[in-house]
Amino acid sequence: MSGYRPDGLEDAFTADEPGRTGATTDDTATDAAAVSDVDVVSAGTMPDVQVPRIGIVGWLRWIWRQLSSMRVALMLLMLLAVAAVPGTIFPQHAQDPAKVAAYLADHQALGPWLERLQLFDVYSSVWFSAIYLLLFVSLVACIVPRTRVHLTAVRSRPPRVPRRFDRFPAQGGLTTTATPQQVVESAAAALRGRWRWLPRFRVDVSTAGGESTVAAERGYLRETGNLVFHLSLVGLLIAIATGQMLHYRGQALVVQGHGFANAVVDYDTFERGTAFNPSSLVPFSLRLDSFSARFSPVSLQPRDFTADVTVTQPDGSASAQQIKVNHPLDVGGANVYLQGNGYAPDVVVHDSAGNVAFSGPVPFLPQNSVYTSLGVIKVPDVTSGDQIGFRAALLPTAQRDTDGVWQSVAPQPANPLMVLTVWTGNLGLDTGVPQNVYKLDTSHLKQVMGPDGQAVSLTVQPGETVDLPNGLGTLTFKALPRYVALDLRYDPALSEVLVFALLALAGLATSLFTPRRRVWLRAGVAADGRTVVTAAALARGDDIGLQPELDRVLAVVGRDLGIAEDEMTRVAAVGDDASAVHDARAAQENEDPEEHR
Amino acid sequence: MNAGELSTLLVWAAGLTYTIALVAYTTVLARIAEARPRAAKAAAAVTSPPVAAPVAGVSVAASVAVGAGRTAVLDRPSGASTPPAAGGSAGASIGADAGAPDAGRRAAGIARSMTYLGLTFGFVAVVLRGIAAGRWPTANMYEFTLVGSTMAIAVLVLVQRRNQIPFLGVLVTGAAALALFLGVNVFYIRAEGVQPALQSYWLVIHVGVAITSSGIFAVAAATSVVQLMRARREEGSTLLAGRRWGWIDAVPDSRTLEALSFRLNAVGFVLWTFTLIAGSIWAEHAWGRYWGWDPKEVGTFVVWVIYAAYLHARTTRGWAGSRAAYFVLVGFTAVIANFTVINLFVTGRHSYSGI
Ligand code: HEM
């Protein structure tokens, strides 16, 4: 192969000049890299020499060459690893916006700088994107020439038999009374293997020039696997990006006995990709019939959450379904996940005039493992006078400790109790600014105090009604239904993502575990009339199975031709340490080759 | 005593056994270091270089001749004499090293049997833990350390079957003992069921494979450490020149160690890739997205990228050999950080340390 050669394809392995091929494996890799570096230079790409003459196109070519070099890929990979780290150090908008806000509040001076450097949006930042996009450009720059080279390689014949075998890492030989012709035929059969349609080695037999030789090569799949792997990474990136563009995600809080429709307006939060198509929102509806939770009696850790729902399809057909953690519901091409749960006390507030001012379940947010939950009840629609607001805590299994403080001791509603404080004034709901339903804006509210000057605190259990202070009315705790937080996600590229990921895995394993080997054998007639056979083998990369492979072939030949064991020779490679070591390892391997394979 | 308590007891036993193995491996090292100069003297009396006598059908260990600090491995009779290869695969011949006194051989035997015993304890402890919890025992940090160290020892045993490298034994048994003692003292939590998010067969597949690859990476990293030391000594480092470091000559040469480390890392990397994919599939089931840059996901990704860089480094001129070994160490540091720092100090969705 002349001229430019992609990185990682080892010239020494391809070249059949014995002097160079003799060096073992990794040394050859280094040699090869050296060679290709030299090639890059000689191809006229060094800037200081060529810049004046090469112009824009030359520059682009130079950049392309740089991008397709393994060294640049290596740098970019290391950069990518480093660049991913800050995302675990600083809070991220995408994962936890509240934490980012808290961080910004705590770090008045530093915060804005970090914000400017996009350190709160690391994974969508310009610099992170630049690194991985460059890496993928580099990847393409790398695989295009490699694919071309490989396509030639898979159609090529094994390289011709080297003149000398003495520097190869694996060698062997035998003498026999059989003819050279018989020997090479037997060896070729052994190398091809049992299945005609799936030969282990690609084999060339030659009997030209009074000498019978066999040249064989295997492991083309190694490079195929490598290319499949790298190409799959590109496919993976494209699939992920496609999914990102087409996806939508909605979150809804659903109380027992209630439901929602799959429509943008019905979600508490709704997020979509840039190429989102509203027709992908299949208009089914879903109702939460019941929700059950189980907890470990010992650690109070959750053990099971199950939501029983009724799904009504657009055509009106309804079916009962179940959603559990780890078992999302597949409906309308989207998946519905059970993401959270809690209690939504069902309350009725009568105002001072005796009219119903508020009625319905109010979702509370669980704060700990025993489901101590906090919530806010806002009553804007009173007949007359000030609006009313409540801050409430729900204790599912309430117990009074020795100090007289109420506490929840278990997550299940064994002894539910709601503790409320009361506020009056203006809830601020008319300002047009959306309000957090879990927070009471107290800027225009006054807390109701008792005659003792202490804040009034009401306690109420399901089924009970309490009078509000100052004749404000009454509050009834009707029931304690649960709610679930559902997450609905539609991503049409999921299967593509999975396929490319698995292809990458398969390609990787193939390329890492497929041995690439060459075996040569030469049979000639000696002065005594006997046939002298010598053989050598070479592998790409470290290959402990190389000598055993050669031994196997010779053993088959020996068996075929009825040669006694003591006529078989195996010449230990001489010269450099590495090959001796290699051979030593092979010798051990040889003790029971099957077992370690 | 119930299964859970018995499991904990066996963890202690495994930790102690590994410690004994550690001491034994250290003794082997010391003996080798002592034996070197003596062997050199002995060899000087014999004509050197040693000539390979044809020994047909003899096991490899027996066909090792010790020369002046060098070992030549002979093959089947070839008639040709083999020049001694520095270091050769002498690591394979510790037990038969003619220069090593009996004590060394005895220590090597103890080290090996203690490693096997510890492995058995560890394995039974894992099984009992699973029985006590009524599920696959890989749900929290304690169980991860328990299963992970058992895996590392299993890989050590496999590797040592081919190449007896005492220093590798020191590193791995030491790390395993440390991990176990840390596990029972710091990470321990009662054997119990798990929260709904962990109730999935992916707990077996994803976490099981993650632990396996961590164990393999651990042994590979230890191999790379030995490789770096050996390379330093080969280059004539003054730091590692003394008699105390004589044992380094007994391990395989740095190229062989690099190749061994690579083979382990290649397997580890494929398994890690699988871990990444399996984790994403699980996240898709449990959390409604296959990738969300959760700290644990980032950690796993960083580890993956570092080992990918390592694989590229190995084929790049100037980055092979010792530099590649540094990649392995950086990669394994990331594996450890991903397990400890991320689990203990960073909050994310993977907060199942149970502590
Ligand atoms: C997204 C970026 C990349 C990733 C994640 C990646 C990952 C990997 C991995 C894991 C391997 C080992 C598997 C094997 O040996 O086949 C590998 C091998 C290889 N990669 Fe990449 N790679 C990336 C980009 C590149 C680029 C840009 C190049 C070209 C400059 C490149 C060239 C190679 C070559 C030549 C090998 C084979 C090494 C060998 O001979 O064993 N890769 N890559």
B95 vs chain A: nearest CA distance in angstroms?
15
Task: Decide: A572 and B75 in contact? Cβ < 8 Å.
Answer: yes
Say how far residue A497 (Cα) sits from the centre of its chain: 10
Count other Cβ atoms within 10 Å, centred on residue B158: 13
H/E element holding A519? strand A517-525
**Residue A299 touches chain B, beta carbons under 8 Å:** yes
Q: What phi and psi, each to the nearest 5 degrees, are found at residue B128?
A: -65, -40
Which of chain B's residues have a Cβ under 8 Å away from the Cβ of A302? 195-196
Burial B121-135 (b: 16+ CB within 10 A, else e): bbbbbbebbbbbbeb
Residues having CB closer than 6 A to ligand 1 are A 7-8, 68-70, 73, 135-136, 138-139, 142, 226, 229-230, 233, 508, 511-512; B 308, 311-312, 315
A150/A146 Cα distance (integer angstroms) = 6
Residue A205 in contact with partner chain B when CB distance is under 8 A: no
- B179-237 pLDDT tens trace: 888 888 888 877 776 677 777 778 778 888 998 899 899 999 999 998 998 888 888 77
User: How close A304 comes to chain B (CA, Å)?
Assistant: 5
ipTM given for this complex: 0.82
Tell me whether residues B305 and A81 touch, CB distance under 8 A.
yes
Distance CA B325, CA B232 (A): 12
Ligand 1: which atom is nearest the Cα of residue A67? 30
Q: What is the pLDDT of residue B65?
A: 31
Q: pTM of the predicted model, to two decimals?
A: 0.79
CB < 8 Å to B291, chain A: 240
- Is the CB of residue B86 less than 8 Å away from at least one CB of chain A? yes
| Chain A nearest CA to B6, separation (Å) | 20
B166 alpha carbon – ligand 1 mean position (Å): 34
List the single residue in A with minimal CA-CA distance to B327. A78
In A180-333, alpha helices (H): 180-192, 220-246
Partner residue opposite B293 with nearest CB, options A78, A87, A583:
A87
For residue A428, give how far its alpha carbon lies from the nearest alpha carbon of chain B (Å): 35
Question: Residue A51: which residues within 8 A CB-CB, separation 6 or more?
Answer: A58, A59
Strand partners, A418: A394, A460
Residues of A in contact with B313 (CB under 8 A): 74
Q: Distance (Å, rounded) from C-alpha B197 to C-alpha B192? A: 15
Q: For chain B, which ranges sit under pLDDT 70?
A: 1, 33-103, 193-194, 347-355
Residue A509 to residue B298, Cβ atoms within 8 A:
no
The conformation of residue B333, written as its DSSP 8-state character, comes to H
Q: Which two tokens stand for residue B145?
A: 């350390």
**A51 touching B, CB under 8 A?**
no
CB-CB contact of A352 with A470 (8 Å): no
B286·A325 Cβ contact <8 A: yes
CA pair distance A403, A515, nearest whole angstrom:
74
Does the CB of B346 have a partner CB in chain A at under 8 Å?
A: yes
Q: Any alpha helices (H) in A514-591, and if so which ranges?
A: 546-561, 577-591
Q: CA of B273, closest CA in chain A: separation in Å?
A: 7
Ligand 1 centre from A62 Cα, in Å? 21
Q: Which residues of chain A are modeled with pLDDT < 50?
A: 1-4, 10-12, 14-51, 572-597
pLDDT in tens, A349-400: 999 888 999 999 999 999 888 899 999 999 988 888 889 999 999 999 998 8
Question: What DSSP designation does B316 have?
Answer: S
Rounded to the nearest angstrom, the distance between the alpha carbon of A27 and the centre of ligand 1 is 19
Q: Which residues contact B115 (CB under 8 A, 6 or more apart)?
A: B18, B21, B153, B156, B157, B160, B169, B173
Subunit contact A302:B195, Cβ cutoff 8 A = yes
* Euclidean distance between CA atoms A399 and A391, whole angstroms: 20
Closest partner residue to A84 (CB to CB) among B199, B253, B301 is B301
Closest atom of ligand 1 relative to the A146 alpha carbon: 35
Amino acid code (one letter) for A357: A
Atom of ligand 1 nearest to the CA of A540: 40
Q: Rounded CA gap, B340 and B332, in Å? A: 12
CB A309 within 8 A of CB A323: yes
Q: Whose CA is nearest to atom 34 of ligand 1?
A: A8
- Ligand 1 geometric centre to CA of A135 (Å): 11
Q: Report how many Cβ contacts below 8 Å link chain A to chain B.
A: 192
- Cβ–Cβ contact A102 with B under 8 A: no
**A92/B293 Cβ within 8 A:** yes
Q: Which residues contact A341 (CB under 8 A, 6 or more apart)?
A: A291, A293, A305, A307, A366, A482, A483, A484, A485
Query: What 8-state DSSP symbol labels residue B62?
Result: G
A28 touches chain B (CB under 8 A): no
DSSP A456: P
**A41 in contact with B at a CB cutoff of 8 Å?**
no
**In the prediction, which pLDDT does A519 show?**
93
Q: Is B116 helix (H, G, I), strand (E, B) or coil?
A: helix
CB–CB of A305 and B73 under 8 A? no
CA distance B135 to B191: 9
Mutate to test the interface with A, among B51, B317, B328, B340 (most CBs of A within 10 A): B317
Q: Are B276 and B296 in contact (CB under 8 A)?
A: no
Take residue B69 and report the two structure tokens written for it: 């600090």
CB-CB: which of A122, A570, A588 is closest to B162? A588
**Measured distance CA(B10)–CA(B19) in Å, rounded:** 14
Q: Give the atom of ligand 1 at the shortest distance from the alpha carbon of B305.
A: 5
Measuring from atom 19 of ligand 1, which residue has the nearest CA?
Answer: B312
Give the residue carrying structure tokens 């994803």: B206
Pull the structure tokens for residue B317.
């001129």
Q: What is the pLDDT of residue A243?
A: 93
Q: Hey, is the C-beta of A296 within 8 angstroms of any chain B C-beta? A: yes
Are A119 and A112 within 8 A, CB to CB? no
Of A325, A502, A583, the CB nearest to B196: A325
Going by DSSP bridges, is the β-strand pair B64-66/A202-206 parallel, antiparallel, or unpaired?
Answer: unpaired
The CA–CA distances, whole Å, from A254 to A131, A319, A392 equal: 42, 18, 20
